[in-house]
Structure 1
Amino acid sequence: MKLLRVVLVLLLPAVSSCLPCRRRDDYDYDSIFSFGDSFADTGNGAVVFAEHSLFSPATKPPYGMTFFGQPTGRNSNGRLIIDFIAEKLGLPFVPPYLAHNGSFRQGANFAVAGATSLDASFFSDIPGVGKFVLNTSSSVQLGWFDSLKPLLCSPAQECKGFFHKSLFFMGEFGVNDYSFSVFGKTPLEVRSMVPDVVKTISSATERIIKRDGAKAVVVPGIPPLGCMPPNLAMFPSTDPAGYEPGTGCLRQFNEIAVYHNTLLQDAIKNVQKNHPDVRVIYADFFTPVIRIVQSPGTFGFTSDILRCCCGGGGKYNFNMSAGCGMPGATVCEDPSTHLFWDGHMTEAAYHFIADGWLNSINES
């Protein structure tokens, strides 16, 4: 159980770019459909964990303290990137598919904390980890979407027209694939997974374009894994050269993230080439986080930038036996000055990242 909590905190997920780019007025969308992990989960994880009798820290205070005033299943002190984007586009917060009893006509969120891009069976042979990878992968989430479609549009041939005015988010996916794998694989072995992870993401993007008529798909990259407090706390380097001099982040972890994002951008270019009438948008998750880490004061953050606001102590305020929402954890006085909440980002950081993504969404 402790391992699950540790790994889920790794759910790891902005200057962005869109392919091709030409400036225009804000686009008008009728709905948002989102797939991904804890960076986008607005409540599905709480349902999934409860079904498996597992503890979900995001259902306990102080989660949600800044904006909602109570826990909502979001892994932050307030709003996520997708929340800020929905607000800016004049749409309601995207309701979690597994926890919402109302209408999904204006969108649905299928993201689940702990979700991977690759199917759960891929991780079954990793000692001590495989049994904690739940059946919530990208393909499972796409299956939930297929189940929902008859409630949104009928007959089936009309669905493509319905989704022409929808904004899709394919991820962030990938962080959990690497975060689970690092417990049983060497960095080189984890790196060897990247092409398969990227192919899964690009294939899922192709699927919603071809099958569902998506005309605008945002495909986020992954943040710098080497800057995440859980990785810094659990995988310290005995060699000073293992840390980047300008950030204090773990070099090997960040190299995996850069490799993933490079291959993902190349894959997105191919998807865009195959579908020139579709807006396929790469959302940069790496650059804004690195910018904050390198110069926190410039963006209004504390100088102790790699330390969690909510946690159980230690150099990075991350303790797997006293994580945020658990006995023994403490909360910083002002989360808005922190980049990291519990290993995920704070609402303030998500707001900054969302602004960059919005710039790309409004380009074509």
Structure 2
Amino acid sequence: MAEQLVIKLLHLLLLPLLFTLITTDLVEGTKKTYGVYENNNVKLFVFGDSYVDTGNFLNSSSYKPPYGMTYPGKPAGRFSDGRVLTDYIASFLKIETPTPYSLRNSSALENGINFAYGGTGVFPTLVDGPNMTVQIDSFEKLIKQKVYTKQDLQFSIALVSASGNDYITFIKNSSITEIKSFTSLLIKQLLINVQRIHNLGINKIAIGLLEPIGCMPPITQLTFHLSCVDVLNLVSENHNQVLLQNLLQLNQQLGKSVFVTLDLYNAFLSTITTMQKNRKENSTLMNPLEMCCKGESLKVSCGSVDDNGNKKYSLCENPELSFFWDRVHPSQNGWNAVYKQLQLSLGQLIDRN
């Protein structure tokens, strides 16, 4: 019992440092159709952070090598070596990935728009990055400009992925003993945001649950990347439980299933567990709790170079076998595995009841 208490205290003492390291990546930086959606007019509107951003954070590491090396073969604004969650959900819906809002003046908008911005959250987490409220403001502005009609929105889908950066920012600046109170405030604002999206005319909204933050590579250094840190995953579990209860109540009040959850938490854990099991049988496979793109020191992130352009990072031998691309973002292989576990939930987006 005493040993367990010491371990937990160690976790809490090292937590601020580890989350500081994570933040660096958050603010730096063969398409297959799986979908069954029959309405070719469906559009996808995306709100949130780097898990779903496909090119809005123009000055981030996501626009520098080696990001994008797997797809599209060069940096393209995705915080991964290739595709991210947005790409897979768009494919499921049988549409092209929606245009990033930052590129709206140079690209077609018939597939919707992606407002997500890496490093942002429900609350302000970046000095110059649009949090979720600002992203929805931009969406509302386009509606008022009649870029999209009422019918466009009626048969469209919203994807929301936010909260991870909020927790990182909170833990860096506050006491972890206040985390439950913060969760309540965070989810209250998140609910206001998703209801606002619905009130603007979208009748199906997919909301990602919080990923297991105790499985992030900087966190699993505590276990030598052998296992996730369960005491930190409790933060994610509590967040998800409260969010699920509130969304269930909202759907009951509306009398229909407007809000659909995507269980990123269990999809991450299940994928990691499967990869760990396979690695026991084949030691040449990569440890899913280690990052593929790694800075040469704790303060150096993936994609960093020195003044002479020399790389200050290293890459794993086979990115296609990794789960985490960098400190907090899945690789294309990781997102593909997660997406496959989410397909049942995605089917609820097609149901118009």
Instruction: Work out whether the TM-score is over 0.5.
Output: yes
| SS of aligned partner of 1:302 | coil
Match of 1:39 in 2: 51
| SS of aligned partner of 1:98 | helix
CA pair 182-232 structure 1, distance change in 2 beyond 3 A: farther
CA distance in 1, matches of 2:211, 2:235: 10
Residue of structure 1 aligned with 2:178, choices 176, 179, 189: 189
| Pair 1:142 & 2:136 matched | yes
Residue of structure 1 aligned with 2:162, choices 163, 169, 173: 173
| Pair 1:352 & 2:337 matched | yes
Give the aligned residue type for 2:340: D
Match of 1:119 in 2: 124
Deviations 1:30-77 (A, max 9, x none): 11000010000111112xxx4xxxxx2111111001120000110000
Q: Any residues of structure 2 matched to 1:146-295 within 5 Å, and which?
A: 146-153=140-147, 159-170=149-160, 172-210=161-199, 212-233=200-221, 236=222, 248-295=227-274
CA pair 299-10 structure 1, distance change in 2 beyond 3 A: farther
Alpha-carbon contact 2:295-2:301 (below 8 Å) kept: yes
Deviates more, 1:343-352 or 1:274-283: 274-283
| SS of aligned partner of 2:109 | coil
Q: How many residues align?
A: 311
Alpha-carbon contact 2:101-2:113 (below 8 Å) kept: yes
CA pair 321-303 structure 1, distance change in 2 beyond 3 A: closer
Alpha-carbon contact 2:81-2:331 (below 8 Å) kept: yes
| SS of aligned partner of 2:96 | coil
| TM-fit CA distance, 1:87 | 1.6
Alpha-carbon contact 1:63-1:78 (below 8 Å) kept: yes
TM-score under structure 1 length normalisation: 0.78
CA pair 200-287 structure 1, distance change in 2 beyond 3 A: same
Question: What do you get for the CA RMSD once the two structures are aligned?
Answer: 2.6
| TM-fit CA distance, 1:141 | 0.5
| SS of aligned partner of 1:40 | coil
CA distance in 2, matches of 1:4, 1:305: 22
| TM-fit CA distance, 1:361 | 2.0
CA pair 256-249 structure 1, distance change in 2 beyond 3 A: same
Give the aligned residue type for 1:312: G
TM-score under structure 2 length normalisation: 0.80
CA distance in 1, matches of 2:72, 2:121: 27
Q: Which is bigger in relative contact order (C-alpha 8 A, separation at least 6)?
A: 1
Alpha-carbon contact 1:246-1:294 (below 8 Å) kept: no
CA pair 362-192 structure 1, distance change in 2 beyond 3 A: same
Deviations 1:122-157 (A, max 9, x none): xxxxxxxxxx54341110101111122244457xxx
CA pair 89-325 structure 1, distance change in 2 beyond 3 A: farther
Match of 2:317 in 1: 333
CA pair 133-181 structure 1, distance change in 2 beyond 3 A: farther
Alpha-carbon contact 2:88-2:339 (below 8 Å) kept: yes
| SS of aligned partner of 2:95 | coil
